[in-house]
Amino acid sequence: MLVFSQKSKLTTYLASQTSEHKTIGFVPTMGALHSGHISLIKNALKNNNITVVSIFVNPTQFNNSDDLKKYPRTLEKDIEKIKKISDKVIVFAPSVEDIYDKSVKSVSFDFDGIENQMEGKHRPGHFDGVGTIVKKLFEIVKPNNAYFGEKDFQQLQIIKKMVAKENLIVNIIGCEILRESNGLAMSSRNERLSKETREKSAIIFKFLKRTKVLFQNKSAQEISKIAAKTFKNTNNFELEYFEICDEEKLLPCLRKNKLKKYRAFIAVYADGVRLIDNISISE
Ligand code: PAF
């Protein structure tokens, strides 16, 4: 299996392999691969001639240096996991210097306000960092199709917006959330949970499923109050936000509109580990 750590070598190799008829599928990741990533990779393999997976913990999207330091880095294991599905996948695992040269900074984007909601509110600068790295990676890999998980639904919408605004020629494909057997959304951060907290974190998806039922006859504001109460009464869990927003602009639902599709979004600290999840609550 080919593993590149330098962008110049990867671009030269890809240029030698691609032709008009070959498509490149791309799965950008920060490593610590789990079944959610594996399913994105399988999707890319099935629908493209060439599949590239990047493994890069992007410093500019972390607004908390401790979170960046603690982010799991498991390159060797990740490569083994990819090899098990196919040795045809091309891995790109660059260094920070190779990607950013001397200036480890993000570009400032205008995502029409989507960036100011939820994750953007609680992680200032996060989406500028995401936009910066994804654009850089797209320029290097030049994918036809790029795959992103819906667990980071706001990120998915941001990337679609960036592609539209910057006229980038790439299809953005959102893939459904994969869950552990107790319903917890798969995430690299789950590795940092104790066995007990990982089990107890089932409460997050359980509450999201309850939201779907509650939304049939309660307002978003009423459900937010129930969320605050539920997590206040659950030891070791701290609710950062719970919001019901429309899927397109990600604006909070102040009054239900039948023409809009809604999702419930949640961010919770479980024993200090930040977990996010979401669910579609429109029929
Ligand atoms: O979702 C992620 O893992 C990251 O935000 C991404 C898209 C790989 C950019 O660093």
Q: Kindly report, residue by residue over 174-226, the tens digit of the pLDDT.
A: 999 999 999 999 999 999 999 999 999 999 999 999 999 999 999 999 999 99
Which pLDDT does position 178 carry in this prediction? 97
Which pLDDT does position 255 carry in this prediction? 96
> Does ligand 1 have an atom closer than 6 angstroms to the CB of 152?
yes
* Cβ neighbours for 202, distance < 8 A, ≥ 6 positions apart: 182, 183, 184
Which pLDDT does position 78 carry in this prediction? 98
| All domains in the chain, ordered by first residue | 2-175 (3.40.50.620), 188-277 (3.30.1300.10)
Which strands form 171-175's sheet, in the order they lie side by side? 3-4, 90-92, 50-55, 24-29, 145-149, 171-175
Which pLDDT does position 20 carry in this prediction? 76
> Does ligand 1 have an atom closer than 6 angstroms to the CB of 58?
yes
What confidence tier does 18 reach under pLDDT thresholds 50, 70, 90? confident
pLDDT at 29 over 80: yes
Q: What percent of the chain has pLDDT over 70?
A: 100
SS3 annotation, 206-270: HHHHHHHHHCCCCCHHHHHHHHHHHHHCCCCEEEEEEEEEECCCCCECCCCCCCCCEEEEEEEEE
* Tens-digit pLDDT profile for residues 245-275: 999 999 999 999 999 999 999 999 999 999 9
Taking all residues of the chain, what is their mean pLDDT, rounded to a whole number? 97
Q: Is 132 helix (H, G, I), strand (E, B) or coil?
A: helix
Quick one: which of 50, 54, 51, 41 has its CA closest to 18?
50
C-alpha–C-alpha distance, residues 10 and 151, integer Å: 29
Which pLDDT does position 6 carry in this prediction? 98
Residue with tokens 């100011």: 116
Q: Whose CA is nearest to atom 3 of ligand 1?
A: 29
What confidence tier does 19 reach under pLDDT thresholds 50, 70, 90? confident
Determine contact, residues 75/31, Cβ cutoff 8 Å: yes
Residue 21 is among the residues annotated as catalytic for this protein: no
Q: What is the mean pLDDT of residues 67-93?
A: 96
Question: Which is more confident, 1 or 20?
Answer: 1
pLDDT at 39 over 90: yes
> Active-site residue among 21, 34, 37, 126?
37
Q: What is the mean pLDDT of residues 116-122?
A: 96
CA of 29 from ligand 1 middle (Å) equals: 5
What confidence tier does 142 reach under pLDDT thresholds 50, 70, 90? very high
Using a 10 angstrom Cβ sphere, with 0-12 exposed, 13-18 middle and 19 or more buried, the burial of residue 167 is exposed
Residue with tokens 């552990």: 180
What confidence tier does 21 reach under pLDDT thresholds 50, 70, 90? confident
One-letter amino acid for residue 86 of the chain: S
Q: Is 152 helix (H, G, I), strand (E, B) or coil?
A: helix
